[in-house]
Structure 1
Amino acid sequence: MNGLQVIILVLVGLGGTCVVFTREPVRQAIALTFFGLLLALMFLILQAPDVALSQLVVGAVVLPLMILLVVAKIRRQSQ
């Protein structure tokens, strides 16, 4: 493993920990977006560009967007 791979693996570990310990749903969705971007970058560095593109679309865009839409709908219904 080279230095760049070690750095990105440490960042992915820190990003995952940040997502787990974040309690507010909106902030958690934002942290999940950055975590998805870090994972996509890790897959790109590990020479898996097809997996990186899939992770970028699903993990960094679609999933956080779905979470934010659900949180907005729940807050709108509770008012």
Structure 2
Amino acid sequence: MIAHVILLVIFAVSALLAVEFKDLIYAAVSLGMCSLCLALLFYQLQAPDVAMTEVAIGAALSTVILLLAINHTRRVEE
């Protein structure tokens, strides 16, 4: 139960940081951290298949696509 609360707090903080960061690289990494916390929550709730999908698509693929898109455009939002 305590692990759920800790993961939810980390999830909420990383989601807020993803919105508040001006540097888009930090925002993308924070969003990946948010997906990773969500995958850990799914795993703790006895849904390992959903957790693996979230890690593969949410944390890994989406973060890589965002970082590539940021790399091809301007890095800092003005």
TM interval, short-chain normalised? 0.7 to 0.9
- Give the aligned partner of residue 46 of structure 1: 45
User: 1:15, 1:71 → 2: CA distance?
Assistant: 19
**Runs of 4+ deviating beyond 2 Å:** none
Q: Point out where structure 2 has 5 or more consecutive residues left out of the alignment.
A: none
TM-score norm. by structure 2 comes to 0.83
Q: Which SS does the other structure have where 1:23 is aligned?
A: coil
- Give the aligned partner of residue 36 of structure 1: 35
Q: Deviations over 1:25-73 (max 9, x none)?
A: 1111111121111111111111111110111011111111111111122
- Give the aligned partner of residue 67 of structure 2: 68
User: 2:4, 2:73 → 1: CA distance?
Assistant: 40
Q: Which SS does the other structure have where 2:73 is aligned?
A: helix
- Tell me the percent identity: 32
Larger Rg: 1
- Report whether the alignment pairs 1:19 with 2:18: yes
More helix by share: 1
TM-score norm. by structure 1 comes to 0.82
User: 2:71, 2:2 → 1: CA distance?
Assistant: 41
Q: Point out where structure 1 has 5 or more consecutive residues left out of the alignment.
A: none
User: 2:13, 2:70 → 1: CA distance?
Assistant: 25
